[in-house]
Structure 1
Amino acid sequence: MEQYLTNLTDKQWQVIEKIINLQERKRKHSLRNIMKAILYILKTGCQWRIIPN
């Protein structure tokens, strides 16, 4: 996995995980990866479609 400045640490994810409602359901992408993508967009201002894999 690529390391970016906007990546969440395990400790940060634990805090966020407690706040959001993690209902058990089948997901195509993990909520942690979605949160990382949102933080990347907020930090860099890039378009959603050109987020690095």
Structure 2
Amino acid sequence: MTDAEWVVVRPLLPVPGWMQGQGGQPEAYCHQAMLDAIGYLVDNGIKWRAMPADFPPWDRVYAFSAAGAIAA
């Protein structure tokens, strides 16, 4: 995802609870990296566990997508 695309997409994602004073811990991975990983998964048709090491761990990317951070 280019920086120009990120500028458009970022406001569409929900604000994490910890940033709104609702508690919790900050995320360990950048949302842009998570979306890039999901895009790679969809584009290449790979399995979650086959996610390249260049991206965050597959289970964190899966949890990010399953939590409703993005609309399927």
Which of the five TM-score ranges fits, normalised by the shorter chain?
Answer: 0.7 to 0.9
Query: What residue number does 1:4 align with?
Result: none
State the structure with more CA Rg: 2
Kindly indicate whether residue 1 of structure 2 is the aligned counterpart of residue 17 of structure 1: no
Q: Percent of counterpart pairs with the same letter?
A: 24
Q: Given the two structures, how large is their TM-score scaled by the length of structure 2?
A: 0.57
Deviant stretches of 4+, over 2 Å = 22-25
Query: What residue number does 2:30 align with?
Result: 30
Greater helix percent: which structure? 2
- Structure number with the bigger relative contact order (C-alpha 8 A, sep ≥ 6) is 1
Task: Count residues with an aligned counterpart.
Answer: 46
Q: Given the two structures, how large is their TM-score scaled by the length of structure 1?
A: 0.74
